[in-house]
Amino acid sequence: MSVTTKQPQVSQPRGWRRLWKSPTSRARWFWLTISILAYGGLLGWYYYALRTQDDPEPFADPLRLFGIIAYILVLFTASYSLRRRFIRGLPGKVQSWLWMHTWLGVITILIALLHDNYARVTHDFCNNFSCLTETYWATSALFALIFLVVSGISGRLLDRWQTRVIAREASSNGVGIERSLEERLRTLAYTVERYSAGKSDEFKIACSDMMESRGRSKHSEDEIAAHERADWKRVQPTLQDHARLAHSLQRQRRARNIMQVWRSLHMVLATLALIIISYHGIMELLTNVLHIIASPE
């Protein structure tokens, strides 16, 4: 005895209605304004030093102070990881901390360039690898900071792209995000099992192949036994719906995996970069600011 199950009809409007969107935050404008004002003030101070000093260099103020400020900002931007992964009780939304992390990270590069008087970027280029370790890995710290921020911005764009992929799938598939899709797919699979109960192996194989081939049947109706063709026609919408939703779930999972891989890679690179930057910053503080360690001749 076949089981007849009424299938829900999913309407497909011409323009899909957006059912999901990421929350917005005013923090992006706040931190952007703070960053612009802070960098504008330091940039004015930098040009003032160029006019009033004969040969401004990183070992003399204010360029040395710019380096200290840049290192403090590096530590401040790194606090985003603490807020997101370890100390979740800190005030403020994670998204607000992310905007702080983004905008302060950008001006940190610009301030670091002021500290080094744009050396290694516009002049005094590296001719060999030995320059990377000079002055307590100063050049390596600069390049590590540039690479870290650029990779972070690129990853941020990638994250937004893949988030839009998930949002588009969740809004257009008629069900939603992964968990809802998984529940709906289980329901559809149970329906197919009920239709397949007591049927021939050919019927079961045809159902399995159709679910795996995005709803396109690899078997003609003539391959199905005559007394099973009525149920084969009834199960077609369920098989097509299952294949369509399975494909949507696959796309959402792939987008989520891409974001997770990038975040893991970024954390590793960020840790290595922070070690190099911290070594240079701490040694410079101990030798040229606090004078705890004698400066090498």
Please give the pLDDT value at position 40: 97
Q: Is 254 helix (H, G, I), strand (E, B) or coil?
A: helix
Whether 158 and 195 map to the same domain: the answer is no
- 14 belongs to a structural domain: no
Give mean pLDDT, residues 195-215: 83
- 8 belongs to a structural domain: no
Whole-structure pTM value: 0.76
Whether 48 and 195 map to the same domain: the answer is no
Whether 201 and 108 map to the same domain: the answer is no
Whether 211 and 278 map to the same domain: the answer is no
pLDDT beyond 70 at 8: no
Please give the pLDDT value at position 22: 53
User: What pLDDT, in 10s, does the model give residues 60-118?
Assistant: 899 999 999 999 999 999 888 878 777 777 777 888 888 999 999 999 999 999 999 99
CA distance 180 to 177: 6
In terms of C-beta distances under 8 Å and separation of at least 24 residues, what long-range contacts does 32-36 make, across chains too?
A: 32/99, 32/103, 34/103, 35/103, 35/104, 35/106, 35/107
Residue 59, domain extent: 27-125+132-172+267-289
User: What domain count does the chain have?
Assistant: 2
